[in-house]
Chains A and B, each alone.
Chain A
Amino acid sequence: MTAETTAAATELVSTKMNPNVIPHLHIWEWHIPLYLFLGGIAGGLLVITSLMIIVKRKFGIGPKDEGDGCPCLAVRIGSLLSPALLGIGMLFLFLDLAHPLYVWAFYTTVQPTSPMSAGSWILIAFFPLAILQAALVNKKFLRERNIGIVNKLIDWTEDHLTVVALVNAHIGVGIGIYTGILLSFFSARPLWSSSILGMLFLVSGISSAAALMLLLAPDDEKPVYSMIDANAIWIELVVVGLFVLGGITGPANNSGAMMHLIAGNYPMAGLPYMLWFWGIFVALGLVIPLLLEFLEAAGVHIRFPQVAPVLVLVGGLVLRFLIVFAGQTYHTFM
């Protein structure tokens, strides 16, 4: 026994048995990471489609419009998917509540110090304008249906699509950041307690959204999404680096938690965190797709162009699971 362990030896015997906190925090399983992933994509889709609309309308840059005031196909699909995916994400959030029937309690109060209260209101604010944008970019097809109230709504707002898009770009950023801030305000959980987590989840959401649009877009629209994705990925690499460095250079709580994530052998689905983090998230989810998209932009023929965006989506999902799980399996703030 070394002198150090002799001096520091402490044995703690506790009769506490609550399964939510013993042997470590255990409150969120698959619902929350899936919600954070879908929420991130929804925010990212809203940011990208809004900016595509604004850039096309104001500067004439971007793929050719559909015509009759409708933008290109990917923007139209992306605008529809954004509220749809957020709706599915919120369903998981709802299912995670221990008492789902009391969900109304979020909406009879505003708790200014609670990020989750702010988030529950942002989620509600998101839908009217995101759905309005989805309607406006597809108005040609909605007009064919000739539904009275929808026609009136389009008549009333169609001249203001760029304004709607401008507001939506901000709401999209808000949703993306919120999915990270939700965790980062828990100072009792050292891995989550990093304010850069909001930025990490925002850029990850934008790159996942770009990857999804890259998969869905017709060939002539693909290059722009490949470019957005590649840029988002390298920004994400920088932010991941800052997140890791901020952790390991931090005080004992934070550095220990970061090591638990990046060098830990605690298993998730049979594989240690370290392998998930470096092997699957960083290498497969960021570095390889970045290389593939770079090669493709440089004119190299890639036999399976779907591989890069699929890897990005997998990486984004793995990131959410890793952060949510590793944040719970590390010990509470000491």
Chain B
Amino acid sequence: MAKQKNYGMVIDTRVCVACSACVYACKSENAVPEGFCRDWVVQETEGAYPRLRMENRSERCQHCANAPCVTYCPTGASHYSDGTVQVNSSRCTGCKACLAACPYDARYVHPDGYVDKCSLCKHRLDEGLDTACASVCPTASLNLVDYNDPEGKAEKMMAGKEVYRQKEHAGTNPSLYWISASNKPGA
């Protein structure tokens, strides 16, 4: 029997060029309403001229293994599924507690009256497809992974590199790993 899936992402910021293709692919795939986004692109510049260091990255829901939104949701609308965090819109009252609970500010209130966010394209994963964002990423910065995959794709990608997770000290155990831009030659 196949092991239970435990999806996540390994995001290689060394090759991200902040083109925003992931954002548009997501908007199109998930009919994200105008003025909102499930994923977004961040450019972080550190240091002082001329010694500057820039990291580009595509951000989204972290699909935490210990997700405060799921903990706090009063109706069970926010729930875990195969290592991802999903929102059942037919149980969501729009109380917005999950927005307050999320340390990553990854959620928004959909104009139709429920809370929405990145679903890691669960509807595509269930059909064996890649996420919309990863499928269009021109530099393979975005990588869908299954941490239970015996071939260990995630471990292989990250081996020997400086890898981090965002706000780990929030105790959320996020499922998104980031290969730091500081791994770039000359960084």
Contact = CB atoms under 8 A, between A and B. Distances in A.
Given A98-B113, A99-B94, A186-B101, A11 B45 contact: yes
A19 B46 CA distance: 27
B92 A102 contact: yes
A189 interface: yes
Contact of B93 (A19, A98, A189, A333): A98
A108 B110 CA distance: 23
Given A99-B113, A114-B72, A187-B170, A16 B93 contact: no
B91 interface: yes
Sorting the interface of chain A by its residue count into under 10, 10 to 19, 20 to 34 or 35 or more gives 35 or more
Interface in A73-92: none
Contacts of B93: 97-100, 102-103, 105-106
Sorting the interface of chain B by its residue count into under 10, 10 to 19, 20 to 34 or 35 or more gives 35 or more
B153 interface: no
Contacts, number: 152
B108 interface: yes
A45 B186 CA distance: 68
Interface in B94-150: 94-97, 99-105, 107-110, 113-115
Given A12-B44, A25-B100, A97 B36 contact: no
27 contacts: A1-B48, A10-B44, A11-B46, A12-B44, A14-B59, A15-B23, A15-B42, A16-B40, A16-B59, A18-B37, A18-B105, A20-B108, A27-B96, A27-B100, A97-B94, A98-B95, A98-B115, A99-B94, A102-B75, A105-B91, A105-B92, A111-B74, A116-B97, A188-B101, A189-B100, A332-B103, A333-B167
Interface of A: 1, 6-7, 9-22, 25, 27-28, 96-100, 102-103, 105-106, 108-109, 111, 113-117, 119-120, 185-189, 192, 332-334
